[in-house]
């Protein structure tokens, strides 16, 4: 069992409150996943720059790393994570240098606007450590984990990101992830952990790299991914939801003029503003739901 949440704002004036709303949703889902928690927030972006989310062991000196890296880099530290903003042209060089000089640092996400945080611990503590409630952004997704398929480690926590500004949270378990993993290797998509959910993220990254939209990539996964799943995924401008054809894992959605929200249970949505007048429904099995700011 796991809990997943997602929030996509339509009303820009709510953006400063995104983190506060998401953090409250995440905390309510503690009963479904007390082992670890994580979230991705699509915040402010600067033209020509990329945000790298770095993760390192407790107490790591990110400032020193920044000094060593040199160049035009801006650093925002948050406990075991830090966001390093670098010019787009230097991204590959910076990543290679980090891998060479700081093996204890992992680049967990990259993109124009996405920042990604996850840790072992109660959702309230994880959200608190990274100050989620103070973050602003246009959309975000979150996950509370009760591990079934791999160990309780930060690496096993969600979200997973396998492409720029792409991330996924998953409730369920995939039965053909070994086979899909081999196909992804052939296609040159890197899947770093043994986790089945990361394979799903990698699969969507591959489909979108092949030119499919988020909605189309989700359609494809109905044919290629086997097992139980409710996915909530984010891209730089989009937000999507898909449940397996058996609808094994729970899902509730709510939509108002201000936002689209997803929760494993209604409880996660109960604290949202205007929820009493929202359209609330259970997403249908094997039906792709997605919203895209760019297409709007």
**Per CB under 8 A, does 282 bind other proteins?**
yes
Catalytic residue among 1, 2, 32, 177: 2
Comparison of 235 and 264: residue with beta carbon closer to other proteins: 264
User: Does the annotation mark 167 as catalytic?
Assistant: no
Contact residue for other proteins among 87, 128, 215, 250 (CB under 8 A): 250
Comparison of 174 and 272: residue with beta carbon closer to other proteins: 272
Contact residue for other proteins among 15, 77, 183, 265 (CB under 8 A): 265
Contact residue for other proteins among 276, 277, 294, 296 (CB under 8 A): 276
**Per CB under 8 A, does 14 bind other proteins?**
no
Comparison of 73 and 247: residue with beta carbon closer to other proteins: 247
Comparison of 271 and 273: residue with beta carbon closer to other proteins: 271
The site for other proteins, by CB under 8 A, has a size of 17
Per-residue contact string for residues 210-249; x = within reach of other proteins by CB under 8 A: ------------------------------------xx--
- How remote is the C-alpha of 85 from its chain's centroid? 19
**Per CB under 8 A, does 1 bind other proteins?**
no
Active site residues: 2
Residues that bind other proteins (CB under 8 A): 246-247, 250, 252, 265-271, 276, 280-282, 284-285
């Amino acid at each position: 069992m796991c809990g997943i949440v997602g929030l996509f704002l339509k009303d820009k004036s709510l953006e400063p409150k995104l983190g506060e709303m998401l953090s409250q949703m995440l905390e309510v889902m503690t009963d479904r996943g007390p082992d670890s928690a994580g979230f991705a927030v699509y915040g402010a972006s600067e033209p020509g720059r990329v945000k790298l989310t770095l993760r390192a062991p407790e107490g790591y000196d990110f400032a020193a790393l920044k000094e060593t890296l040199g160049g035009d880099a801006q650093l925002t530290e948050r406990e075991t994570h830090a966001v390093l903003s670098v010019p787009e042209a230097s991204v590959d060089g910076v990543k290679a240098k980090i891998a060479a000089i700081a093996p204890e640092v992992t680049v967990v996400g990259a993109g124009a606007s996405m920042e990604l945080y996850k840790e072992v611990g109660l959702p309230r503590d994880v959200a608190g450590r990274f100050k989620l409630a103070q973050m602003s952004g246009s959309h975000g997704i979150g996950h509370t984990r009760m591990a079934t398929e791999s160990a309780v480690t930060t690496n096993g926590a969600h979200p997973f990101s396998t492409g720029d500004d792409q991330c996924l949270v998953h409730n369920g378990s995939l039965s053909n992830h070994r086979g899909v993993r081999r196909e992804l290797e052939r296609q040159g998509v890197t899947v770093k952990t043994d986790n089945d959910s990361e394979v799903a993220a990698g699969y969507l990254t591959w489909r979108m790299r092949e030119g499919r939209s988020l909605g189309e990539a989700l359609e494809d996964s109905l044919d290629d991914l086997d097992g139980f799943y409710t996915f909530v995924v984010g891209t730089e401008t989009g937000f999507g939801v898909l449940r397996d054809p058996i609808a094994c894992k729970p899902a509730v959605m709510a939509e108002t003029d201000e936002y689209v929200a997803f929760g494993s249970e209604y409880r996660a949505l109960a604290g949202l503003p205007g929820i009493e007048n929202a359209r609330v429904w259970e997403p249908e099995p094997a039906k792709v739901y997605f919203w895209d700011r760019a297409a709007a």
